[in-house]
Structure 1
Amino acid sequence: MTAATPGISDRQVAMMAVGCALAVSTIYYHQPLLPQMAASFGVTPAQASLIATLTQLGYAVGLLLFVPLGDRVQPRKLASLAIAVNTLALLACAVAPTFALLAACSFGVGMTAVTAQIIIPAVSGRATPARRGRVVGSLLGGLASGLLLARMLSGLVGAHLGWRAMFVLASVVDLALLAIVIRNLPASTGLTVVRYRDLMRSLVALVREERLLRISAATGFLMFAAFSALWASLAALLARPPYGYGPATIGAFGLAGIAGIASAPRIGAAVDRIGTRNMVLVGTITVGVAFALVAAGGRSLAWVIAGMVLLDLGNRAALVASQARIFALRPESPSRLNTVYMVSYFIGGATGAALGGYAAQRDGWIGLAAVGVVLALAAVMVNAFAPDKAVVALAEGQS
């Protein structure tokens, strides 16, 4: 999947990409199933979108509380514990008797689904600056595969066995993830001896001292807000006339992510070649164009599919470039840098899910598109203040 990097083999990088895929799947299984959940508990589609919002918020909280420990605790031990608790949370969702309990358990699922964000800094920290973009691209390609797996699998299982069965199956997938992590996640040799309280305080110091981290975090917030706005409301829109699709068909729309999966390693190589700022700019503009196409979603599925493909490509380009540039800032603190970025990223996801669900219910495809375009334009403006290519390249070279 990528060239060998110091201290880690090609096989380990490939297996960790698979691990990222299985780990991130957990927070996306619910998306094609939201109309089923709404019908099961007698709530509206907009109320059902609360499941998506709480899952993303839980993920952000888990990133904040647990991922920084990757600089203090062996990543393999930390990830194994997170997977074990996540398995229990998934089973709790499967048997939840009320919508309120399902919402609470969904928060727990998100909170403990952070294994991919433990894996990424542990593996990318072993890469040289010249290859960091490629390694990050390979791991994020695994994440993209996870999104595709989650949406397609949950759509099919939900259509034939119901949404509860999907959460039972997800707990079995977690067991496979645990085996992969135990056998393949490399041990860290640069752990920090620091109290948890001081570790958390250091996050504030990183935000205060690293301007590029602040810019990257803000860009990630806006980009994933746009991405989640579409996916949190897509099932409800496609279940309406003129389409009236069920979970299996809605889940198949995840195939739009294939282009992003295939392009992830190439995006990483392009980041190494043209610079992080330029790639983020390409990504933000692409997302804006994607939502301009989504605006015509009520007329033809062709516009929806084209917009989804561009949205996935644009979001992926910005994500790979942003993570490549933050990992170059302080090599001794990869987990904490990743924590700051990903907490902002998934708070953005929760915000976008709420905005998208509201806008779609009120104004349909046009309302959803308006939310996405505004978020994309804001991301373009934020990135305009990022250091230029030469400054970033210098920082990468010094690391």
Structure 2
Amino acid sequence: MSSLPITQAAPAGATVSNTAGPQAAASASAPGAAAQESLSGGLILLLALGTGVSVASLYYSQPMLGVLSGAIHASERQVGMVPTLTQLGYALGLLLLAPLGDRYDRRNIILIKGAILALSLLAAGLAPSLGFLLAASLAVGLTATMAQDLVPAAATLAPVQHRGRVVGIVMTGLLLGILLSRVISGVVAEQFGWRAMYVGAAVGIAVIGVALWRGLPRFAPTTSLSYGALMGSLFSLWRQHPALRRAAVAQGLLSLGFSAFWSTLAVMLHEAPFHMGSAAAGSFGLAGAAGALAAPLAGRIADRNGPESVTRLGAGLAALSFLAMAFAPLLPDTHSKIMLIVAAAIGFDFGIQATLVAHQTIVYGIDPGARSRLNALLFTSVFVGMSVGAALGSLALAQWGWMGVVGLTTLAAVGSLLVRLTARRR
């Protein structure tokens, strides 16, 4: 990747120093000075890698629950609290910690979170009891929000004309981190034990932290609000910016459909006519690779044609892909049914991830001085959509079976498309 020239004003959240380590503070220019930086391909790769490695921390425990249950002498229900508390910590971190990127030097926040995340993963790997592991899991979730500091950092560093492409590349790292985390965790836990997975993850975060300390420039704070006022400004931003509300609602609806499908897939495949095990359901996760491919492509299209068109195309593709699965019961054999579901999963995953990158491009352009808070609001809506989708998906499956889930996911995607079409008319 070639270097991208940057000319950003410090009050808009631009870097004020490209030095790192002990000399960085002395090199910072006064607030308000224009910053001349070079966003190299190496720095973009570092941001993408850091995002992927940090968000992967949320998912390492999931394939290891069976091993954990016997290793720490806990019931399956008790061990199930490990990923639950990790996700709860991430939700709290999104809401309570992510906005701090506007108040303080985002570089310092990233480094502090990285250090605590490495220690939390190490504590999980050395946990002598279930209670200790649960506490460490909550801390992992809170500090894994480091990923949501790196994405706004990339948007701030990128020149406006290339912001979509840069955000897309960094989001590719995030999506690959989610996709590969379970695979890596399962293999490492089986070969070397669950503790080795946590310790190895801690070492990986520490290495990335050192690289970020050396390579990440400083960022000028864009506000001097107190923490209470900073949190209160989230409501003000929500009220003031219709574009933010539309992006959050549209992406939240897509996340609802996404979660409703994936949270019920294993149950659906277990029943007639498929009669397939959990391993087969897990292999469907490889369709997530489509999302990783969608992110940089969507960013380039957003830079060239505008993000609005990408949101409509992405939501439309997701709606058509969900609807296509309604025809699966009509196909003559199980193999054909499976192929249709795989194709549909690739289609809606591509559409949803492309729309997310476009929504990020829109949101980051609303108010450069509030990017961390805007990002927190956008991803809080995504998390809420995922949670609601899991609950409604289970209800729809219990009441109406396969067609109930297909109907729910299709309606959610159509709702998202209508939100984007309404934005176009306005």
TM-score, normalization by structure 1: 0.83
- Among candidates 390, 406, 421, match of residue 353 of structure 1: 390
**Residue 314 of structure 1 aligns to which amino acid in structure 2?**
G
Question: 2:408 matched to 1:371?
Answer: yes
- Looking at structure 1, the residues matched to 143 and 410 of structure 2 have their Cα atoms a distance apart, in angstroms, of 31
1:249-274 CA-to-partner distances (Å, cap 9, x unmatched) read: 65544332333323322211111233
In the other structure, the counterpart of 2:310 is 279
1:134-162 CA-to-partner distances (Å, cap 9, x unmatched) read: 11111111112212221321333355556
Q: In structure 2, do the counterparts of structure 1 residues 30 and 353 end up closer, same or farther at CA, with 3 Å as the change threshold?
A: farther
In the other structure, the counterpart of 1:58 is 89
Q: In structure 2, do the counterparts of structure 1 residues 92 and 365 end up closer, same or farther at CA, with 3 Å as the change threshold?
A: farther
- Looking at structure 1, the residues matched to 243 and 345 of structure 2 have their Cα atoms a distance apart, in angstroms, of 29
Unaligned runs of 5+ in 1: 392-399
Root-mean-square deviation (CA, aligned residues, Å) is 3.3
In the other structure, the counterpart of 1:22 is 53
Using CA pairs below 8 Å that are at least 6 residues apart, which structure has the higher relative contact order? 1
Count matched residues: 384
- Among candidates 154, 157, 177, match of residue 126 of structure 1: 157
Q: Which has the higher mean CA deviation after the structures are superposed, 151-160 or 279-288? A: 151-160
In the other structure, the counterpart of 1:396 is none
Q: Which has the higher mean CA deviation after the structures are superposed, 159-168 or 365-374? A: 159-168
In the other structure, the counterpart of 2:4 is 4
**Residue 306 of structure 1 aligns to which amino acid in structure 2?**
A
Q: Which has the higher mean CA deviation after the structures are superposed, 259-268 or 16-25? A: 259-268
Q: In structure 2, do the counterparts of structure 1 residues 382 and 165 end up closer, same or farther at CA, with 3 Å as the change threshold?
A: farther
CA drift of 1:3 comes to 5.1
Q: In structure 2, do the counterparts of structure 1 residues 181 and 231 end up closer, same or farther at CA, with 3 Å as the change threshold?
A: farther
1:337-388 CA-to-partner distances (Å, cap 9, x unmatched) read: 1111112222222322333455557766545433322321221222233246
Q: In structure 2, do the counterparts of structure 1 residues 155 and 105 end up closer, same or farther at CA, with 3 Å as the change threshold?
A: same
Q: Which has the higher mean CA deviation after the structures are superposed, 298-307 or 62-71? A: 298-307
- Among candidates 280, 284, 290, match of residue 321 of structure 2: 290
Question: 2:269 matched to 1:244?
Answer: no
Q: Which has the higher mean CA deviation after the structures are superposed, 150-159 or 178-187? A: 150-159
1:196-246 CA-to-partner distances (Å, cap 9, x unmatched) read: 112112211111100111111111222223223334444555567622243
Contact 1:221 1:345 in 2 (8 A): yes
Q: Which has the higher mean CA deviation after the structures are superposed, 213-222 or 224-233? A: 224-233
CA drift of 1:120 comes to 1.3
Q: In structure 2, do the counterparts of structure 1 residues 38 and 106 end up closer, same or farther at CA, with 3 Å as the change threshold?
A: same
Question: 2:254 matched to 1:217?
Answer: no
Contact 1:50 1:354 in 2 (8 A): no
The higher radius of gyration belongs to 2
Question: 2:205 matched to 1:174?
Answer: yes
Contact 1:35 1:235 in 2 (8 A): no
Question: 2:234 matched to 1:203?
Answer: yes
- Looking at structure 1, the residues matched to 116 and 64 of structure 2 have their Cα atoms a distance apart, in angstroms, of 23
In the other structure, the counterpart of 2:115 is 84
In the other structure, the counterpart of 1:339 is 376
- Looking at structure 2, the residues matched to 34 and 256 of structure 1 have their Cα atoms a distance apart, in angstroms, of 23
Q: In structure 2, do the counterparts of structure 1 residues 120 and 20 end up closer, same or farther at CA, with 3 Å as the change threshold?
A: same
In the other structure, the counterpart of 2:362 is 325
- Among candidates 57, 61, 70, match of residue 101 of structure 2: 70
**Residue 146 of structure 1 aligns to which amino acid in structure 2?**
G
- Looking at structure 2, the residues matched to 35 and 291 of structure 1 have their Cα atoms a distance apart, in angstroms, of 32
TM-score, normalization by structure 2: 0.78
Q: In structure 2, do the counterparts of structure 1 residues 97 and 357 end up closer, same or farther at CA, with 3 Å as the change threshold?
A: farther
Q: Which has the higher mean CA deviation after the structures are superposed, 125-134 or 214-223? A: 125-134
- Among candidates 105, 113, 116, match of residue 144 of structure 2: 113
Contact 1:60 1:342 in 2 (8 A): no
- Looking at structure 2, the residues matched to 34 and 363 of structure 1 have their Cα atoms a distance apart, in angstroms, of 30
- Among candidates 178, 181, 184, match of residue 153 of structure 1: 184
- Looking at structure 2, the residues matched to 150 and 199 of structure 1 have their Cα atoms a distance apart, in angstroms, of 33
Q: In structure 2, do the counterparts of structure 1 residues 213 and 385 end up closer, same or farther at CA, with 3 Å as the change threshold?
A: same
1:320-346 CA-to-partner distances (Å, cap 9, x unmatched) read: 110101111112221121111112222
**Residue 244 of structure 1 aligns to which amino acid in structure 2?**
G
Q: Which has the higher mean CA deviation after the structures are superposed, 228-237 or 33-42? A: 33-42
CA drift of 1:58 comes to 2.9
Q: Which has the higher mean CA deviation after the structures are superposed, 235-244 or 53-62? A: 235-244
Contact 2:294 2:354 in 1 (8 A): no
In the other structure, the counterpart of 2:294 is 263
**Residue 175 of structure 2 aligns to which amino acid in structure 1?**
A
In the other structure, the counterpart of 2:343 is 306
Contact 2:4 2:159 in 1 (8 A): no
**Residue 265 of structure 1 aligns to which amino acid in structure 2?**
P
- Looking at structure 1, the residues matched to 382 and 198 of structure 2 have their Cα atoms a distance apart, in angstroms, of 25
Superposition pairs for residues 135-150 of structure 1, below 5 Å?
135-150=166-181
Q: Which has the higher mean CA deviation after the structures are superposed, 256-265 or 228-237? A: 228-237
Q: In structure 2, do the counterparts of structure 1 residues 161 and 284 end up closer, same or farther at CA, with 3 Å as the change threshold?
A: farther
